[in-house]
Amino acid sequence: MKAFIVCCLALILFSCDQSNKSDSTIGLQSSGDLSGDMDMAGAENDFDIEAPRSMTPSTPPQPQLLAYADEQDNQKIESKTNNRKLVRSAQIDIKVENYDKARQQLNEMVAQYQAEIRNEAQNQTSDGYRYHFSIRVLPSDFDAFLSKLERIASFVYGKSISVDDVTRQYVDLETRLASKRAVIAQYRSLLQSAKNVEDVLAVSDKLNEEIEEMESTEAQLRVLKDQVQFSTIELTIFDESVLPNVERANFWGRVGEGIFNGWQLLLNLMIGLVTIWPVVLIMAVIFWATRKYWQKRKLTPPNLPKKQLKIL
């Protein structure tokens, strides 16, 4: 009996030891798994492993971000167009009492406002003299210059002012010029890296075309800048105080002119008759025939009645 009880106690103690060992192995395995996971996480942190970009799904842009980008582009365009480019021109026709005095005042105005007279012309009419000037003045002095021109005039026949907004055209030319310069720089880099003659010729042709277009754009931009930087005033001055020099003849001189004019009129009539001689000849023949007919009719007696003829 005692031997049986000792055997049972031994079996119980042996089973408890086995359970403790299994629990310890399970704990070790779990701790090993955790440490392995921690080691892998540390390795990933050390090497900073990222997934390939081709494998990562691309997120579409959000509407708010697109609207913000469009707003930024519009602000850039507005910032360029806020500085408006205006071309101002005017046409004014005035009358002056004394041209020499008016011309002196005009020269003083040109010197005062640092203007420039580009073209000048003079014409003589039956009413007097007409002077035309093409004046270039700064846009800031445009209105003041026009008002002073009206002051030196005794009468203003007419005045017209035009303002053209060329901001869009100006910005477009600047943008085209910048793009052409960038393309030319690329072609020049390609020309340096060309290896055979065919590539060199092809790139040279394209480069020359781009350079010609760039020069044309630069010329257009220069003309537009000149029109924006200086306003144009077309001025016409009428001077009716000094008539053209005409010699006034006295009475006998005018009588002589009348005789001379009459003689010239007679010569012209004779020349005209000689020119229409066929018509004059036909009219003379008709007149002669008509006259002969009436003469014969007057000479022949009238026809008498038959009874009177029997009596005779």
Residue 146 in domain: yes
Please give the helix or strand (H or E) that residue 83 lies within, else none: none
Last residue of a domain, one of 143, 164, 185: 164
74 assigned to some structural domain: no
Identify the pLDDT of residue 13: 56
Q: Are residues 139 and 175 in the same domain?
A: no
Whether residue 281 lies inside any domain: the answer is no
Tell me: do 90 and 143 sit in the same domain. Answer: yes
174 and 156, same structural domain? no
Nearest CA-CA partner of 233 in 125, 123, 110: 110
Question: What was the pLDDT predicted at 296?
Answer: 77
Strand partners, 119: 134
Residues 109 and 148 sit within 8 Å (Cβ to Cβ): yes
Domain assignment of residue 13, yes or no: no
Q: Are 174 and 221 contacting, i.e. CB atoms less than 8 angstroms apart?
A: yes
Q: Final residue of a domain: which of 121, 139, 164? A: 164
Here the CATH number for the domain that contains residue 149 is 3.30.70
* DSSP string for 230-282: SEEEEEEEEE-SS--------HHHHHHHHHHHHHHHHHHHHHHHHHTHHHHHH
151 and 188 co-located in one domain: no
Provide the number of structural domains found in the chain. Answer: 2
Answer whether residue 233 is part of any domain.
no
The predicted structure's pLDDT at residue 131: 92
Sequential pLDDT tens for the chain (312 residues):
555 555 555 555 555 555 454 444 444 344 444 344 444 444 344 434 333 333 333 343 444 444 444 455 455 555 554 588 899 999 999 999 888 899 999 999 999 999 999 889 988 877 778 999 999 999 999 999 999 999 999 899 999 999 999 999 999 999 999 999 999 999 888 888 888 888 888 888 888 999 999 999 999 999 999 889 999 999 999 987 665 554 445 677 777 778 888 888 888 888 887 888 888 888 888 988 888 888 777 766 555 555 554 444
Domain end, chosen from 113, 142, 164, is at 164
Query: Is this prediction's pTM over 0.85?
Result: no
Residue 290 counted as domain residue: no
DSSP H helices in the chain: 2-47, 63-81, 99-112, 142-152, 167-193, 197-229, 251-275, 277-299, 306-311
Paired tokens of 279? 């018509």
Residue range of the domain that includes 146:
81-164
In a domain, 10, yes or no: no
